[in-house]
Structure 1
């Protein structure tokens, strides 16, 4: 995006990404859908990618009903072949790529590290960390051509300990380190790379976990870890991602931005 940002300043609401081409992985539900809708509302043409066609179609429908432009392609970020096909589809359908949002992720198992099976460890790192690497690498030529940017959706648990999630937190910690390495590597080509670090957000991915916490009477303890005293929403993450993808962040790269209700600031 830095290639579009020579003048700096804030864009007019509804036009902050006007004319930009955006790829969002994991775009069928939760954070991915919210990001796709927000970016499209700001004038971007959005391609959402994911493993399941039905949720992707729902995102496209939602964007189009709101007057935006969106299309979808099925792609599994753990498959190098499918990621290569995604890159080809994106450049062909959009005519180029300005922004890549690496949102695809999953919690494969909820166990302490000593009980985490080898295959679960590998699968977790594959989708949450290696998937972002694959997509970024595949789309780099297109991003460099337009001096674009990458936004990784990581997690505050990259920096704050979380029980029974060793593989997930390790993957997200690696993603934050990858963000900084990519930012340094790609700055000479004008490609910015940043990450958003959400905490507890009400999404499909987290719904079962939050319901379990409520049933066990442990939900208040979660809120107590958040100085602002409330859960985040997908829109909170989408707005932070929009800032990092916009010209307003033209001089921002290598940043891991907590969007966590103050959780990381208040940790002891």
Structure 2
């Protein structure tokens, strides 16, 4: 299937590691010019080099998307390198709980500042980035907005940091609103609710022992019997960013190997 991504310009904010890297690589493999960002220079450089070695087109920028100036730098870099973005993938960085203090687990362990910090990480990073690309997408009457979320939005529980779990729902709601407002301009907005995936971040998180079940427990809970791979995330993201997905918008789609047991 031709996804119609050849010569499209894609911004993958948080696209240098794990599932973000899988998305960057998948979009580049479909012919998109990818501007990816990250906060670690080595990871950004490594992913750009890997995409170019595979025959793709990519550039990178080290920036913090959770800051307004960082979001502006990311989109400006895409314009400078490739032109106006057609695609924006938002893979916001989540705060890591502190094992010693039990921070972010249980309402009594969450301060006002904790909630504000997480809101900035997830919601405001999305607001900053979308504001930068939306006028250009509207002008060309084409755009794809894609938020990378979590299955914890569907089933919040204490094994995930409370502020992060609940704030991610706000981002999915924002994407739904954006889909309604911008559908007439040929712009779609969707969320992928991710389950257990192999990545540097997830391995570090599991190893921290911060209220997280063991690898063995997770595998028993997964009907497919294994963790997801970043390239599988990339495949779904590439479809959602394609011309073929023009009628699919305002959705939160679970990609979790069957982990979530609820029907909806």
Structure 1 residues not aligned, in runs of 5+: 1-9
In structure 2, what is the Cα distance between the partners aligned to 1:114 and 1:186? 39
In structure 1, what is the Cα distance between the partners aligned to 2:4 and 2:54? 16
CA deviations on 1:160-216 (whole Å, 9 max, x unpaired) are 123141111112111111111110011122211111111111111110233356xx9
Query: Is it true that 1:116 corresponds to 2:126 in the alignment?
Result: no
TM-score (norm 1): 0.88
Q: Residue 176 of structure 1 corresponds to which residue in structure 2?
A: 172
Correspondence list, 1:243-258, <5 A = 243-258=239-254
CA deviations on 1:105-134 (whole Å, 9 max, x unpaired) are 213325222102332322222112210121
- Whether the aligned pair in 2 keeps the contact of 1:29 and 1:204 (CA below 8 Å) is yes
Q: Residue 141 of structure 1 corresponds to which residue in structure 2?
A: 135
In structure 2, what is the Cα distance between the partners aligned to 1:211 and 1:86? 31
Q: Which of 154-163 and 56-65 deviates more?
A: 154-163
In structure 2, what is the Cα distance between the partners aligned to 1:222 and 1:212? 15
In structure 2, what is the Cα distance between the partners aligned to 1:176 and 1:200? 19
Inter-CA distance 193–113: structure 2 relative to 1 (3 Å threshold): same
**Count of aligned pairs between the two proteins:** 254
CA RMSD across the alignment: 2.0
Inter-CA distance 34–217: structure 2 relative to 1 (3 Å threshold): closer
- Whether the aligned pair in 2 keeps the contact of 1:152 and 1:196 (CA below 8 Å) is yes
Q: Residue 264 of structure 1 corresponds to which residue in structure 2?
A: 260
TM-score (norm 2): 0.89
Q: Residue 9 of structure 2 corresponds to which residue in structure 1?
A: 21
Q: Residue 197 of structure 2 corresponds to which residue in structure 1?
A: 201
Query: Is it true that 1:128 corresponds to 2:94 in the alignment?
Result: no
Structure 2 residues not aligned, in runs of 5+: 98-103
In structure 1, what is the Cα distance between the partners aligned to 2:21 and 2:116? 26
In structure 2, what is the Cα distance between the partners aligned to 1:198 and 1:217? 17
- Whether the aligned pair in 1 keeps the contact of 2:199 and 2:230 (CA below 8 Å) is yes
SS at match of 2:260: helix
Q: CA deviation at 1:229?
A: 2.5
In structure 1, what is the Cα distance between the partners aligned to 2:78 and 2:204? 33
Inter-CA distance 121–28: structure 2 relative to 1 (3 Å threshold): same
Q: CA deviation at 1:267?
A: 7.4
Q: Residue 207 of structure 2 corresponds to which residue in structure 1?
A: 211
- Whether the aligned pair in 2 keeps the contact of 1:125 and 1:171 (CA below 8 Å) is yes
- Whether the aligned pair in 2 keeps the contact of 1:226 and 1:266 (CA below 8 Å) is no
Q: CA deviation at 1:93?
A: 1.9
Correspondence list, 1:5-84, <5 A = 10-11=1-2, 16-84=4-72
Q: Residue 101 of structure 2 corresponds to which residue in structure 1?
A: none
